[in-house]
Amino acid sequence: MELSRRRFIQASALAVTGAAAAAACGKSSSGTSAAKSSTLTLWYWGGGLSDKVVADTVKHFTAVTLKPSVIGGDFKQKLLTTMTGGKFVPDITGIKGEDIAGFLPRADRFIDLNTLGADKLAASYLPWKWKQGSTTDGKLIGFPIDIGPTAMFYREDLFAQAGLPTDPAAVGSAVSTWDDYFALGGRLKQALPKTFLLNNSGSVFSMVVGQGTTRFIDQSNHFVGDQDHIRRAWDLALRPQQLGINAKINDNSWNAAVGNGTLGTEIGAAWHALDISSAAPKTKGKWRVAAGPGGPANIGGSFLAIPKTSGNPQAAFEIISWLLSPENQARGFTDAALFPSSPASYKLPALTAPDPFFGGQATIDIFGPAAQKIPVAYEAPADAAVAAPYYSELTSIEAKGKDPAAAWSDAVSQAKSIAQKQGVSV
């Protein structure tokens, strides 16, 4: 019923102590920077890295001992707490894609991986992803793990029933713009009255924002959430509702909707395939993937970083670069559905294999080119906080029938006050 302050603090303190104790085992005598420690700790969350590849990494490095720990719960919070405490900080840590922007201003707490030779490996990884893990003055904090290139998932069987194109290439060109996509949704709904084009307006909004090069805050730390590019995303997000092709699903009934034909398409990242196949295993073979409306964007994907307190940065970097080599990234895709951030992996059999869930389609034909076309956008540390009111107001329109004009002005004014609060100029 409640999360009393006391219980909360006790629980989190216990969790942190537990995690720290797990990570601490074997950390050599209070890690004086002169003596290089021979035991390195690695923190990641469940599914953040391939457990098989991690196990192989432990075996591969014999000169140092790698101790991986899977950290449950709120990963960012535990990392932040431990780094603030300054004790038992991991030697290598994962950082989630949505958190990296918040850690970049604290680059002084991490080692610039370029000083350890990362710059020589840059060519093997996607430039936009590399930039996402770098500070504006070029320090590399996060080494790319995986990415989330987006595309459109669609029900081939429903498209066939509705007399729409079914071949991925034909579908891709039929939905190349958002207008085309919504028009197709209208035809789908007309033929199959129970089938909506998409799940909610927030998914359109985040996709359109992600396809742009500017988000809510520009590089000079100025709020731009009231400008045309956001307004365009907002207007596009409202269109499915006006056309009656928005299923307005904002809860876990999505799991049922995706399986019973309520949803004709899903726009999402490569890893979203796993959500669909686990929510609706019975639809196996009925889904296909095509290039999404308006071009690709990136959702999610994470990084590995070395905190400044690491006892042996050189060895830690060797471990990272082996763990995330193109070959091992391809294995990570097979084992944990982590879409590689190194284009060299895309030609390896692990990725080119046909996927039975998608009727034998080789989805890399869609996601591979998408991954390389993702625009480079500047994401400010406060970006997610400033974006939140837009999503809340979109759900208010869906749930309460709030007037869209009022919702827009409320979203902008709330976003402005959050921006100001986070030290962004308005």
Partner 1 sequence: MAAQSTAAPRSRPGSARRPAASHRTRGPRRVWSFLPQYLAISPFFLVFLGFALVPVLFTLYLSFQRWDGIGDMHYVGLEQYRFLISDRTFWLALSNTLIIWVLATIPMLFIALVIAAMLNSTRRLTAFYRIAYFVPSVTSLVAIAIFFFAVFSSQFGLVNAALHAIGLPAVPWMSNPWTIKVVIALLMTWQWVGYNAIIYLAGLQAIPTELYEAARVDGAGPVQSFFRITIPLLRPIILFTVVVSTVTGLQSFTEPQVMFGSNASTNPNSGGPGQAGLTVMLYFYHQAFDNNDFGYGAAISWALFLVIMLIVAVNWRIVARTDR
Which positions touch partner 1 (CB under 8 A)? 1-6, 9-10, 13, 74, 77, 80-81, 83-84, 98, 102, 105-106, 109, 202, 206, 248-254, 256-257, 260, 262, 299-300, 382, 384-385, 387-389, 391-392, 395-396, 398-400, 402, 414, 417-418, 421-422
Backbone angles phi, psi at 418, to 5 degrees: -65, -40
CA dihedral 259, 260, 261, 265 (to 10 degrees): -20
Q: Report whether 92 contacts 323 (CB < 8 A).
A: no
Considering beta carbons, is residue 226 or 410 the nearer one to partner 1?
Answer: 410
Q: Which two tokens stand for residue 322?
A: 């082996």
CB of 266 to partner 1, least distance (A): 13
Considering beta carbons, is residue 352 or 422 the nearer one to partner 1?
Answer: 422
CB of 346 to partner 1, least distance (A): 24
Element (H, E) at 146: strand 146-147
Cα angle at 170 between 167 and 176, to 5 degrees?
135
- In terms of C-beta distances under 8 Å and separation of at least 24 residues, what long-range contacts does 173-176 make, across chains too? 175/290, 175/291, 175/292, 175/293, 176/291, 176/293, 176/294
Considering beta carbons, is residue 2 or 228 the nearer one to partner 1?
Answer: 2
b/e code 163-181 from CB counts within 10 Å (16+ = b): ebbbebeebbebbbebeeb
CB of 338 to partner 1, least distance (A): 16
Considering beta carbons, is residue 217 or 351 the nearer one to partner 1?
Answer: 217
Considering beta carbons, is residue 4 or 29 the nearer one to partner 1?
Answer: 4
Q: Report whether 282 contacts 7 (CB < 8 A).
A: no
CB of 233 to partner 1, least distance (A): 12
Considering beta carbons, is residue 98 or 218 the nearer one to partner 1?
Answer: 98
CB of 279 to partner 1, least distance (A): 12
Nearest Cα to Cα of residue 366 among 236, 270, 253: 270
CB of 129 to partner 1, least distance (A): 17
Q: Report whether 292 contacts 152 (CB < 8 A).
A: yes
